[in-house]
Chains A and B, each alone.
Chain A
Amino acid sequence: MDHSATTPVDSLVLDAMLPYFTEMFGNSSSLHSFGTEAAEALSTAREQVAQAIGALPEEIIFTSGGTESNNLAIRGVIPHDAGKKHIITSVIEHPAVLNTCEYIESLGHEVTYVPVDSDGVADIEMIEESIRENTVLITVMHANNEVGTIQPIKEIAQIASKHNILFHTDAVQTVGKIPVNVDELGVDMLSISSHKIHGPKGSGALYVRKGTRIDPIIYGGNHENGMRSGTENIPGIVGLGKAMFLANESLDEDSQHMMNMRDHLISQICGSIADVRLNGHPTLRLPNNVNLSFKYAEGESMLMLLDMKGIAVSTGSACSSKSLKASHVLSSLNIEDDYIHGSLRISLGKENTMEEVDYLVESLKETILKLREMSPISGQ
């Protein structure tokens, strides 16, 4: 139940990929028949990805994943001409955006990090107020990977468009879970990752609206129209195309199934365990995301006890992170100290079942009871 971290490759996706490792191993740049096969596979995958998000095939750039897509979107708009540029983003972005922004700052450019409210929604008014003469990009994630809050992307895109500023969104968590259409959202760029939607790791894409000028960050043999050089990862790209196609085909069904499990999980836990809070927005929320904080129980300890029961989840607690700092997302939501160390993210997948959710609820009850009995502050 840690699908926001990654997902298993769907067997149909794997079947589609396998021939491209062996008999159809060609380089799409070669003119012979092996090369043609690869070029055709590339073209089909491009159409599949484009179609799933309502884009044109030529607006899709294949990358190595969400991180590279975010890097390309942000770093790609910076070097157009000399002079100090300004970017606006939110404080709860993925590190692939935040650390890229930090890098941009180290080059002498400026970044405004707008805050979010206690539900994790970015402050739209502040985004508009932050716009300057040299603002070249606004980048705000479609939905947050930790607390699941879905951002008002359409409204932010309208603000950007009104001021003639490019708008990028990291849609790694939303593609395959809620409808994502680039025209409806009004975005200029959108990042996609394959391994979050039952595709292979090491594959992703950046949508770039026709007419949007960005510079590449990787130079070489001018693959992907010069936007991303390097011989294409054909099996990975084929896998992404197939995964996007499948995700789009069963979007309504999968999303409803995940929402049913999500709502059942939240009501069961909040109804049977005391001193718990739901982090993130109550309704504007990813169908598969549940993020809870418990008093008197620490996140890493909960995670490990659940792992021993065969359940994989994640936590934003300080002790679980390499930096030993509590999650930057939870820290921006103004969560009380009593709750901030006891967070648990449960991210469901389409293959999870209601029985598994009930098993999680029972296991979690035991886990919390055990830790609270051990805790000196549970008031017992």
Chain B
Amino acid sequence: MYSKKVIKEFSSPQNVGSIEDADGVGEIGSTIDGDIINISIKVKDNVIEDIKFKTFGCVVAISTSSMVTNLAKGKTVDEALELTDEDVINALDGLPEGKDRCSGFALDALKMAIEDFQQKNK
């Protein structure tokens, strides 16, 4: 039911970890919801140079986390803020019906990390 792309991102996720001297960190979810996504970014000249995630959650939570970090890496902060839920789902060759509910969490965590960076660099 999951696309090959989802399974690939899930079983061999990229950018797992957390950046110790991160310029911005975003975390969303709780153990009650069953999903927690933490994204940390390193920004240089307004470009997301490095990005890592740590995720507790289901196949969708892990594969979207991996894909969001892939998509954001190398983009400027402004470009990354323009990423949409649809971009993530398309990059994963779609999600099964009913499984797209939590697809936006990873993107929300990225946006929180960027806001955190922007707050710190006002």
A300 adjacent to B27 (CB under 8 Å): no
Q: Is B59 an interface residue (CB 8 A)?
A: yes
Number of A-B contacts (CB under 8 A): 71
Contacts of B31 in A (CB 8 A): 337-338, 341, 377
Query: In this complex, which of B27, B37, B54, B98 has the most chain A Cβ atoms within 10 angstroms of its Cβ?
Result: B54
Interface presence of A326 (CB below 8 A): yes
**Complex contact B56–A376 (CB within 8 A):** yes
Is the C-beta of B10 less than 8 angstroms from some C-beta in chain A? yes
Q: How far is the CA of A376 from the CA of B62 in the complex (A)?
A: 12
Assess the B27–A376 pair: CB atoms within 8 A: yes
Q: 8 Å CB contacts to B: which residues of A135-153?
A: none
Q: Of all chain B residues, which has the CB nearest A338?
A: B31
Q: When the two chains form their complex, are residues A304 and B56 in contact, meaning their CB atoms are under 8 A apart? A: no
Is B71 part of the binding interface, using a Cβ–Cβ cutoff of 8 Å?
no
How close is A361's CB to chain B, nearest CB, in angstroms?
Answer: 20
Residues B56 and A300 in contact, CB atoms below 8 Å apart: no
B34 near A375: Cβ-Cβ < 8 Å: no
- Among B13, B62, B102, max chain A CB count under 10 A is at B62
Contact indicator A376/B18 (Cβ below 8 Å) = yes
- Chief secondary structure at chain B's binding surface: mixed
Give the docked Cα–Cα distance between A319 and B62 (Å).
12
Given A338-B31, A376-B37, A376-B38: A308 and B57 within 8 A (CB)?
no
Give complex CA distance A297, B54 in Å. 12
From residue A318, how far is it (CB to closest CB) to chain B in Å? 5
Residues of A within 8 A of B59 (CB): 300-301, 304, 319
Residues of A within 8 A of B98 (CB): 322, 324
Does chain B have a CB within 8 A of A320? yes
Q: How many angstroms from the CA of A340 to the CA of B2 in the assembled complex?
A: 24
A373 to B13, CA, bound (A): 12
- Of the candidates A320, A326, A340, A377, which one forms a contact with B56 in the assembled complex, judged by CB atoms under 8 Å apart? A377
Q: How far is the CA of A237 from the CA of B119 in the complex (A)?
A: 70
B55 touches A374 (CB 8 A): yes
Q: Enumerate chain A residues within 8 angstroms of B55, measured Cβ to Cβ.
A: 374-376
Q: Is A59 an interface residue (CB 8 A)?
A: no
Q: Which residues of B, 10-41, contact A by the 8 Å Cβ criterion?
A: 10-11, 13, 16, 18, 27, 30-32, 34-38
In this assembly, does A56 line the interface, its C-beta being within 8 Å of a C-beta of chain B? no
* Minimum distance in angstroms from B84 CB to a CB of chain A: 22
- When chains A and B are docked, how far (Å) is the Cα of A319 from the Cα of B101? 10
Inter-subunit contact B57/A298 (CB<8 Å): yes
Measured CB to CB, the nearest residue on chain A to B32 is A337
Q: From residue A16, how far is it (CB to closest CB) to chain B in Å?
A: 35
A301 and B27 in contact, given A317-B34, A374-B16, A376-B55 (Cβ under 8 angstroms): no
State whether the Cβ of B61 lies closer than 8 Å to any Cβ in chain A: yes
* Cβ–Cβ contact B34 & A374, under 8 A: no
Pairwise interchain contact B34-A318, C-beta atoms closer than 8 A? yes
Q: Of all chain A residues, which has the CB nearest B54?
A: A376
Q: How far is the CB of B27 from chain A (nearest CB, A)?
A: 7
Interface assignment of A207: CB less than 8 Å from any CB of chain B: no
Q: Given A300-B58, A376-B27: A341 and B34 within 8 A (CB)?
A: yes
Given A304-B10, A338-B31, decide whether A377 and B36 contact each other with a Cβ distance below 8 A.
Answer: yes
State the CA gap A318–B101 with chains docked (Å).
12
B11 touches A305 (CB 8 A): yes
A167 within 8 Å of B (CB atoms): no
Binary contact readout B33-68 vs A (1 if CB under 8 angstroms, 0 otherwise): 011111000000000000000111111111000000
Query: Is the pair B38, A298 in contact by a Cβ cutoff of 8 Å?
Result: no
Cβ of A307 to closest chain B Cβ, rounded Å: 10
Q: How many angstroms between the C-alpha atoms of A319 and B96 in the bound complex?
A: 12
Interface string of A317-337 (1 = CB under 8 A from B): 111101010100000000001
Is A296 interfacial (CB 8 A cutoff)? yes
- Measured CB to CB, the residues of A under 8 A from B are 296-301, 304-305, 308, 317-320, 322, 324, 326, 337-338, 340-341, 371, 373-378
Q: Which B residues fall within an 8 A CB radius of A?
A: 2, 7, 10-11, 13, 16, 18, 27, 30-32, 34-38, 54-62, 98-99, 101-102
CB-defined A-B contacts under 8 Å, sample of 7: A298-B34, A301-B57, A308-B11, A319-B57, A341-B34, A374-B54, A374-B62
Considering the complex of A and B, which 10 residue pairs feature the smallest CB-CB distances, nearest first?
A319-B58, A376-B54, A341-B34, A376-B38, A375-B56, A300-B58, A337-B31, A337-B32, A298-B57, A338-B31
Given A298-B34, A300-B59, 11 further pairs, Cβ under 8 A: A298-B56, A301-B57, A317-B34, A319-B34, A319-B35, A337-B30, A337-B32, A374-B54, A375-B54, A376-B18, A376-B38
